[in-house]
A and B are shown apart, each in its own frame.
Chain A
Amino acid sequence: MERVFELTVNGERCAVTCEPDTTLLHVLRHELDLKGTRFGCGSGQCGACFVLIDGHPVSSCDTPMWAAEGKPVVTVEGLAEGAALHPLQQAILREQAAQCGYCISGILISAAALLARDPHPDERAVVAALDRNLCRCGVHQRVVRAVVRAAEAGR
């Protein structure tokens, strides 16, 4: 049965009408027109659709709205502060750590969660934090470098 769900997305409260098992990804992309969160697999296996829920990176493609209800959600669009890009976004640009860029939204989310928890991770910690994100273009090494450097810049 459709009903109204409230949640906070990128700091703004919003209400959407949908089925309880409608996915958070669908709501973000279609109801809220936030296209930065990408669809890759629909089954929690690739990380393209990651968002922060309560600060944790979660796959939005298999998170039903009943589970996201009332929670604070941050998407890639919510990482920047106004016109100022998140240090991770700046670092990805600086290192040119993308090719097609389809995986990057989810990677930024995983990395942002890591830095919030551990502001100065070493390379090993970065690799571990990104292990649920897939990238087919092979920019892994640049991404890891970018995350480590973003953390260093924040020192």
Chain B
Amino acid sequence: MTGRRRDLPAGVVANPRLSRWVSIAPDGTVRVRVGKVELGQGILTALAQLAADELDIDLAQIRMEPASTDEGPDEGLTAGSRSIEDSGAALRQICAEVRALLLAEAVTSWGLDPATVTVRGGVVGDASGRRIGYAELAVDLDRDADGSARPKADAGLRLAGTSVQRLDLPDKIAGRPRFIQDLMLEGQLYGRVLRPPSPAATLAEAGTAAAAELPGTVSVVRDGSFLGVVALDEEAAERAVAALRETAHWRERDTLPDEDDLPGYLRAAPADTFTVDESGLGRTDQIVQTMTAGYSRPFLAHASMAPSCGVARWHRDEVEVWSHSQGIYRLRWAISQALGLDEKNVTVRHVQGAGAYGHNGADDAAFDAVLLARSVPGRPVHVRWSRADELTWAPIGPAMAAELQAGLDAGGKVVTWSHEVWSQGHFSRPGYAGSPGLLAAAHLERPIEAPPAADPPPSAGGGTARGAIPLYTFPERRIRAHRVLSAPLRSSALRGLGSFLNVFAIESFMDELALAAGQDPLDYRLAQLADPRAQDVLLAAAELGRWGAESAGGRGIGFARYKGRGAYCAVVAEVEAVHEVRVRRLAIAVDAGRVVNPDGVRNQIEGGAVQATSWTLKERVRFDRRHVTSADWESYPILRFGEVPEVEVEILSRPGEPSVGAGEAAQGPTAAAIGNAVAAALGLRVRDLPLTTERILSALGE
């Protein structure tokens, strides 16, 4: 590897071939393939802006292709708010090299003047007035990037930094088929799976004849406790699966924890304990007061608007899969692993689903389709989950508990800080702990048991411990995490992972400490922060949120830097708490470095804050000792139009700082700001989420 190669972006080093990323069609359209997938977050639009800038073409000349394992680069997961950082850097490098090759070709083969050559709208020209379109330049892109050209300096960018409109929305608002749920392939059949009635249930017996005999049924599949049907259309598939349900008998067991004492369950369970941070030595002789408090969050559902969906087609020992997975290469590996296939015989293509906020049922639904399609070789089988399966069988965000302790000096400042957190793991995506991690794999005749959820490594921001290291300048800190080694409920990544509770705990506790010290919560924070970017977002949110002004209810503030190295975000919440908590307004300041699409960032922050408000006020996966019981929108309510706060977002411009994702930055700070506002309104601290009327009344009783 040459010296120049070494400092190329990681995505380019892993996928150096230019043609894997970019190709130029005869009509001049530039087809761009990236490994990141659209989840409704607008990533393909932002990446298109960068590509268009580097290539000197118009946005309309770009076609962003959906990710696929048979073409395009492997860029791992679309997760953790890293897409703009990673994929953006790689794509800019690739496009810069492609542009340089095109220009060189124009000079050497077409004799353009190297001193005056320029490009506009994909047309190369020089001072003599000669013009040649990209499509006419015979450049072979089947070569590796070598670092011989560099992306433009920021001043040369036209589209980056502007709020161009999302490329995918015109189709969506017109109701065009754009989602995997709408996919209709030649000869397509429809599948449904009959999931067990509870997480630990196994199939005792099932009569498949009744389902098989129904008109429209094509096949009935049974493999261990996995039961499903394939039919001519969705209605016939629904009927057949209903018939299966009638005849299936299950062996069930009570395996779930006590929903009303999740902290107790987490703290008692065997766990992998690790130190997150142990640094500094505080002057313990100066401590005049020690405070302790415990916080918790329940299990949370992704609750996407569309149930998960997958499509598969077998052809001898090869299988093609269409999925809204966030990691198509991982999914390909998992499918081949689970079925003993050669990985190169599995192709996974991304098709958009509804919004995804973490590891939902997408991979599982794809595998369901693979299993069902095996019974009808050559025919694609389209599987869509029910709403109930989506809410009860997709992985969920784990319950968590934290206990914080601080020693304060006479001035109220923190001298020693300790934070302990307990949680089930936050990562069971395909490939975790060496396992396929696919739901149905554990139900097969020869089951592949799913190990309990793991955590992403600290280098990826961790899971249980994500966000547990405060940005404050506490002299001494002891932070420990306990990842529970069992998973009676299947947990995995949900937007923000552990940071949602860790930040809620840190920032609630900071308010409690400020109160104890008799100080204003904003001043108290500012006095213990050295990072000027942190101070700036706090001050900006305070101003936007009219900190210190009269309020009919209460105001609260919350702050964090996502993962300790991502976007800075501060939130001021204004609430009313009369019969129930209503969040009136959220004022949010965010610093995400250089911003590619300001309105895109704003949209992500607004949406994240609304979702976090919903988690904070209402959400909780319900279960008894055997079944998950929150299976519809009534038993798993989310925030409605009438309950949504006014959200105002200010983006702090930092053109000189690297771009970082913003999709997860608001989750923890929003919860903390709301909790603190409720405490200000009621003079009462509720430390267990969600902040329902019931919880507030029980806190009143204590």
Closest B residue, CB atoms, query A21: B235
Taking a contact as CB atoms under 8 Å apart, the answer to whether B355 and A127 are in contact is: no
Q: Is B1 an interface residue (CB 8 A)?
A: no
Taking a contact as CB atoms under 8 Å apart, the answer to whether B632 and A43 are in contact is: yes
* Partner pick for B173 among A23, A43, A104, A128, CB 8 A cutoff: A104
The answer for the CA separation of A89 and B176 in the assembled complex, in Å, is 13
The answer for the CA separation of A35 and B356 in the assembled complex, in Å, is 20
Q: Is A37 an interface residue (CB 8 A)?
A: yes
Closest A residue, CB atoms, query B176: A36
Taking a contact as CB atoms under 8 Å apart, the answer to whether B603 and A96 are in contact is: yes
Given A26-B234, A96-B169, decide whether A139 and B603 contact each other with a Cβ distance below 8 A. yes
Closest B residue, CB atoms, query A133: B641
Stretch from B301-309, B551-559, B569-577 at the A interface: B301-309
Closest A residue, CB atoms, query B384: A39
The answer for the CA separation of A77 and B499 in the assembled complex, in Å, is 41
Residues 98-114 of chain A: 1 if any B CB is under 8 Å from the residue's CB, otherwise 0? 11111111001000000
Residues 115-155 of chain A: 1 if any B CB is under 8 Å from the residue's CB, otherwise 0? 00000000000011011011111111111100000000000
Taking a contact as CB atoms under 8 Å apart, the answer to whether B173 and A39 are in contact is: no
The answer for the CA separation of A76 and B182 in the assembled complex, in Å, is 15
Q: A-B contact count, CB below 8 Å? A: 164
B-side binding surface: helix, strand, loop or mixed?
loop
Closest A residue, CB atoms, query B645: A141
Given A26-B234, A46-B633, A131-B642, decide whether A138 and B607 contact each other with a Cβ distance below 8 A. yes
In this complex, the interface size class of chain A, counting residues with CB under 8 Å from chain B, is 35 or more
* Chain A residues, Cβ within 8 Å of B356: 100
Q: Is A30 an interface residue (CB 8 A)?
A: yes
Taking a contact as CB atoms under 8 Å apart, the answer to whether B174 and A30 are in contact is: no
A-side binding surface: helix, strand, loop or mixed?
loop
Taking a contact as CB atoms under 8 Å apart, the answer to whether A101 and B306 are in contact is: no
Q: How far is the CB of A14 from chain B (nearest CB, A)?
A: 17
Residues 73-112 of chain A: 1 if any B CB is under 8 Å from the residue's CB, otherwise 0? 0011100100001000100110010111111110010000
The answer for the CA separation of A45 and B390 in the assembled complex, in Å, is 15
Taking a contact as CB atoms under 8 Å apart, the answer to whether A102 and B179 are in contact is: yes
Residues 9-48 of chain A: 1 if any B CB is under 8 Å from the residue's CB, otherwise 0? 0000000000100110010011001111111111101101
The answer for the CA separation of A56 and B40 in the assembled complex, in Å, is 29
Closest B residue, CB atoms, query A61: B387
* Chain A residues, Cβ within 8 Å of B40: 98-102, 137
* Partner pick for A141 among B168, B642, B647, CB 8 A cutoff: B647
* Partner pick for A40 among B169, B387, B604, B641, CB 8 A cutoff: B387
* Chain B residues, Cβ within 8 Å of A41: 387, 632-633
* Chain B residues, Cβ within 8 Å of A103: 305, 354
* Chain A residues, Cβ within 8 Å of B42: 99
Taking a contact as CB atoms under 8 Å apart, the answer to whether A136 and B172 are in contact is: no
Stretch from B341-349, B365-373, B588-596, B608-616 at the A interface: B608-616
Residues 11-26 of chain B: 1 if any A CB is under 8 Å from the residue's CB, otherwise 0? 0000000000000000
Taking a contact as CB atoms under 8 Å apart, the answer to whether A100 and B305 are in contact is: yes
Closest A residue, CB atoms, query B646: A141
* Chain B residues, Cβ within 8 Å of A142: 603, 606
* Partner pick for B172 among A26, A45, A101, A131, CB 8 A cutoff: A101
Q: How far is the CB of B78 from chain A (nearest CB, A)?
A: 13
Taking a contact as CB atoms under 8 Å apart, the answer to whether B603 and A38 are in contact is: no
The answer for the CA separation of A68 and B170 in the assembled complex, in Å, is 29
Q: Is B599 an interface residue (CB 8 A)?
A: yes
Given A89-B173, A89-B174, A128-B642, decide whether A101 and B168 contact each other with a Cβ distance below 8 A. yes
The answer for the CA separation of A140 and B610 in the assembled complex, in Å, is 9
Given A131-B640, A138-B606, decide whether A76 and B307 contact each other with a Cβ distance below 8 A. no
Q: Is B165 an interface residue (CB 8 A)?
A: yes
The answer for the CA separation of A81 and B40 in the assembled complex, in Å, is 27
Given A30-B233, A136-B305, A141-B647, decide whether A77 and B609 contact each other with a Cβ distance below 8 A. no
Taking a contact as CB atoms under 8 Å apart, the answer to whether A102 and B235 are in contact is: no
* Partner pick for B306 among A76, A102, A131, CB 8 A cutoff: A102
Q: How far is the CB of B252 from chain A (nearest CB, A)?
A: 25
The answer for the CA separation of A127 and B639 in the assembled complex, in Å, is 13
Q: How far is the CB of B546 from chain A (nearest CB, A)?
A: 18
From residue 303 to 358 of chain B, which have CB atoms closer than 8 A to chain A? 303-307, 352-357
Taking a contact as CB atoms under 8 Å apart, the answer to whether B354 and A100 are in contact is: yes
The answer for the CA separation of A57 and B349 in the assembled complex, in Å, is 35
The answer for the CA separation of A77 and B608 in the assembled complex, in Å, is 30
Residues 455-498 of chain B: 1 if any A CB is under 8 Å from the residue's CB, otherwise 0? 00000000000000000000000000000000000000000000
* Chain B residues, Cβ within 8 Å of A23: 235
Taking a contact as CB atoms under 8 Å apart, the answer to whether A134 and B638 are in contact is: yes
Given A40-B387, A101-B40, A136-B354, decide whether A93 and B170 contact each other with a Cβ distance below 8 A. yes
Taking a contact as CB atoms under 8 Å apart, the answer to whether B173 and A134 are in contact is: no
Q: List 30 A-B residue pairs with CB atoms under 8 Å apart, sorted by A's residue number.
A: A22-B235, A23-B235, A36-B175, A38-B179, A40-B387, A43-B633, A45-B632, A77-B174, A80-B174, A93-B173, A96-B163, A96-B166, A98-B173, A100-B353, A101-B168, A101-B172, A101-B173, A102-B304, A102-B355, A131-B641, A134-B633, A136-B303, A136-B304, A136-B611, A137-B40, A138-B608, A138-B644, A139-B603, A141-B644, A141-B646
A sample of 8 more A-B contacts (CB under 8 A), given A42-B386, A96-B165, A102-B354, is: A26-B235, A30-B235, A36-B175, A99-B41, A101-B173, A104-B172, A127-B641, A140-B610
User: What are the nearest 7 A-B pairs in CB distance?
Assistant: A36-B175, A100-B40, A138-B610, A101-B172, A138-B607, A76-B175, A100-B355
